[in-house]
Amino acid sequence: MFDLSNRTAIVTGAGRGIGRAIAAALVAHGARVALFDRDPTLLTDATETLGAITLSIVVDVADATNVQAAIETVIEQWGRIDILVNNAAILSTKPFLELTPSEWEQTLAVNLNALYYTCRAVVPTMIATGYGRLITIASVAGKRGGGILGNAAYSAAKAGTIGLTKALARELAPYGITANAICPGPVETPLLASMTAEQRTRAQRLIPLGRFAHPTEVAAAVVFLASAEAAFITGETLDVDGGITMD
């Protein structure tokens, strides 16, 4: 089960955290993986760890031209893209009235517009091959309106990714392409570095399983949704949140 050999994948924000764990899990299941990240140092480190079946490209996912060029490079090298994992994001935590329009726009650009840019560039090749897995790393914030760490901008962007993923699922189903979102609760990554001990304790009280996730627990859900075995699942949002949501 979950054999991804002969599959090619792109993971955005693969330099560290959940993205790196996703890339490692896809490689472990046999896929060739292209790592996208805006930070060249993180990317070099991730590439050295993951080994020769990876391709790494410095790309700012909020830049449509940059994304198009990076995806064309992957298609030139590997001929097809079977799996696209939109994972890169930035956290925004300021209260609503302190948020400036440029911070709002930057959060929406990286966390939502990038999903449009990457899918726009990848979907034609998936249609041509008749196979595709679009996987969006959203957040419980997109369902709950924040309440743990992300603010209004982060929550709005993540809710937007869930809506866009469902629209893609509906429109692309006739081509053998599925689109699903994963909604993690708090996961132990550098993204949570700004959390105070009090915020961590408060967040843990909201989680029935009583702890934060490990990045590999999100990666396992990605491997499942990327696999042939998940062919009949589309437009789904899968909560990997220790029971926070239960909707």
Q: Is 175 a catalytic residue?
A: no
Nearest 10 degrees: CA dihedral of 82, 41, 221, 116? -50
Dihedral sign for Cα atoms in the order 161, 82, 171, 66: positive
Closest distance between ligand NAD and the C-beta of residue 161, in Å? 8
Q: Which of residues 174-193 bind ligand NAD (CB under 6 A)?
A: 184, 186-187, 189-192
Closest distance between ligand NAD and the C-beta of residue 68, in Å? 14
The answer to whether 148 and 186 are in contact (CB under 8 A) is yes
Closest distance between ligand NAD and the C-beta of residue 98, in Å? 20
Closest distance between ligand NAD and the C-beta of residue 139, in Å? 4
Binding residue (CB under 6 A) for ligand NAD from 10, 11, 16, 115: 16
Q: Does 142 bind ligand NAD (CB under 6 A)?
A: no
Nearest to 191 by CA among 15, 5, 6: 15
- Which residue stretch of 57-65, 121-129, 197-205, 222-230 sits at the interface with ligand NAD (rule: CB under 6 A)? 57-65
Binding residue (CB under 6 A) for ligand NAD from 70, 135, 137, 172: 137
Instruction: Measure Cα distances from 152 to 17, 97, 131, 140, 239 in Å.
Output: 23, 10, 35, 13, 20
When the beta carbons of 9 and 187 are compared against ligand NAD, the nearer one is 187
- Which residue stretch of 32-40, 93-101, 162-170, 196-204 sits at the interface with ligand NAD (rule: CB under 6 A)? 32-40
The answer to whether 219 and 24 are in contact (CB under 8 A) is yes
Range list of H helices, 130-226: 141-144, 152-172, 197-205, 215-226
The answer to whether 145 and 161 are in contact (CB under 8 A) is no
Closest distance between ligand NAD and the C-beta of residue 26, in Å? 15
- Cβ contacts of 116 within 8 Å, gap of 6 or more: 164
Binding residue (CB under 6 A) for ligand NAD from 9, 17, 85, 180: 17
Residue 242: strand, helix, or coil: coil
Given the structure tokens 């440029």, which residue do they identify? 102
When the beta carbons of 116 and 175 are compared against ligand NAD, the nearer one is 116
What is the set of active-site residues? Answer: 154
By CB under 6 A, name the binding residues for ligand NAD.
12-13, 15-19, 37-39, 42, 59-62, 87-90, 110, 137, 139, 184, 186-187, 189-192
